[in-house]
Amino acid sequence: MKTKTVLLLSAAVLALTACRSQQASDPVVSARPAPAAPAKPPVFDPNAAPVAQTGFPQNANVQQFIRHQASHGRYSEAELQQFFERAQYKGNIISIMNRPGTSRPWYEFRRGNAGSGKINGGRRFYQQNRQVIDQVAREYGVPAEIIVAIIGIETNYGSNMGSFRLADSLPTLGFDYPRRAEFFQKELGEFLLMAKEEGRDPFSFMGSYAGAMGMPQFMPSSYRKWAVDYDRDGQRNIWGSVPDVAASVANYMKAHGWQTGGRVMVPVSLAETTPQLLALIEEKTALNYTVGQLRQMGVVPLEAVADHEKAVLFRLEVAPERFEYYIGLNNFYSIWQYNHSRLYVSAVRDIANGIGQGGL
């Protein structure tokens, strides 16, 4: 862990150095506010010759993107053309994206994502950064152990932040992954704005193969909205500054409705596993019912919870074909918006409870 901290610190220093020299040498970077993102990128034409064949600069979809961005005054056509001349197509990213997904049951997911290694790592990380994380927690009203747990599940406390240049991964996904072209082109647009706002070369940003950045794995649109320069050095450094990272995560949670002092989930039992209740579990995750309404349908909370609280019923497979039932409350939903997976939220809560006093 010591080595990692040193690595993170040197990464931070490098990032800052890069920023400074960039700002010093590039007078275009100014306090001029960036224009708002255009509502929607143009429609992706799946019949155009693929990027793997044409390269980026000559690709019809890329040219369409360039015209669209330039027409909104975000970048000149020449600047964008130059960007795509430098961007490298990464076919291995498309292979990763096309791997068949496997849905793991909770008892397996938990081992990999919320095991004792992750909890012990979280205790160490918290201990090393206690002062600033506690300060952020107080200021934002989000528990320190939730902040730490999210950093843990996302990147194992900063040790696995991804080694792809965003300037390669986002164009590759935006123009060679039709299923989500719209999403990744939008993120690419946000990314280019973000590089300009931060006064950094777009090719200096590193992240996961899917464009998630830094210790909290923010996508560029999230970075622009919620990343925080907590240590006030002029950079929102979510790759190497723990104060910035902790505040960015807490800010995200607060913006997504975190209620200070609220619980994440409460164990329940079902009076009977009726088809109605099983259907509820299959519903899209949302807080559509109150605890009182769920009680009337036969859900019995095993710990105190107020009837007026909003909730979602779900279950976790704790061993093959053996289920535990829960209701997720408001703060469950806040974490879910960080990553749309009930297993993810449950793992965050397990790590957090393992680090802290429990009771979340």
Instruction: Tell me the catalytic residues.
Output: 154
The residue type found at 359 is G
Q: How far is CA 353 from the centre of its chain?
A: 21
In the complex, minimum distance from the CB of residue 37 to Ca ion, in angstroms, rounded to a whole number: 23
CB of 156 to Ca ion, least distance (A): 22
Question: Cβ closer to Ca ion: 212 or 246?
Answer: 246
Taking the C-alpha atoms of residue 149 and residue 354, their distance in angstroms, rounded to an integer, is 9
d(CA 239, CA 205): 9
Considering the complex, what minimum distance in angstroms separates the CB of residue 238 from Ca ion? Answer: 9
Contacts of 38 (CB under 8 A, 6+ apart): 68, 69, 72, 74, 189
Cβ-Cβ contacts under 8 Å for 161 (sequence gap 6 or more): 155, 206, 207, 208, 213, 214, 215, 217, 239
Question: Could you give the angle at the alpha carbon of 135 between the alpha carbons of 13 and 213, nearest 5°?
Answer: 45
Q: How far is the CB of 231 from Ca ion (least distance, A)?
A: 4
CA–CA separation, 21 vs 329, rounded Å? Answer: 47
**Which of 134, 229 has the CB closer to Ca ion?**
229
Angstrom distance (rounded) from CA 360 to CA 165: 37
180 vs 174: CA distance, rounded Å: 7
Nearer to Ca ion, 32 or 232 (CB): 232
Pick from 141, 176, 170, 148: nearest CA to 61: 176
Least CB distance from residue 228 to Ca ion, whole Å? Answer: 8
Min dist. Cβ of residue 21 to Ca ion (A) = 17
Evaluate whether 189 touches 37 at the Cβ level (below 8 Å): yes
Question: Smaller CB distance to Ca ion: residue 15 or 351?
Answer: 15
Interface ranges with Ca ion (CB under 5 A): 229, 231, 233, 235, 237, 241, 244
Shortest gap between Cβ of 12 and Ca ion (angstroms)? Answer: 9
- Cβ proximity to Ca ion, 240 vs 301, nearer residue: 240
Q: How many residues does the chain have?
A: 360
Cα–Cα distance measured from residue 49 to residue 58, given in angstroms and rounded to the nearest whole number? 10
Two tokens, residue 13: 């220093």
Q: Which is nearer to Ca ion, 8 or 348 (CB)?
A: 8
CA distance 99 to 97: 6
For Ca ion, the nearest residue by Cβ is 229
End-to-end CA distance of the chain: 27
Helix (H) or strand (E) run with residue 322 in it? strand 322-328
DSSP conformation class of 71: H
Q: Which is nearer to Ca ion, 230 or 289 (CB)?
A: 230
